Amino acid sequence: MVGRWRAKLVDIALQLNYHSIHHRAQMQMLIRQQGMGPDFIDYIGT
């Protein structure tokens, strides 16, 4: 990739959050395809 990108900090933070949500949804889909129930996959458990 050539060149520089400019982005506001809030936009970068939102992108990181959305990207994480995407991968968490992928994990849940794979878990369900294996016949298992939904799992708790939060980083910080309650």
**pLDDT tens sequence across 2-46:** 678 889 999 999 999 999 889 888 988 988 899 988 767 666 765
Q: Which pLDDT score is estimated for 19?
A: 93
**pLDDT tens sequence across 23-32:** 888 988 988 8
Q: So where are the chain's domains?
A: 1-34
Q: Which pLDDT score is estimated for 41?
A: 66
Supply the DSSP string of the chain, one letter for each residue: --S-----HHHHHHHHHHHHHHHHHHHHHHHHHTTPPP----SS--
Q: Which pLDDT score is estimated for 27?
A: 86
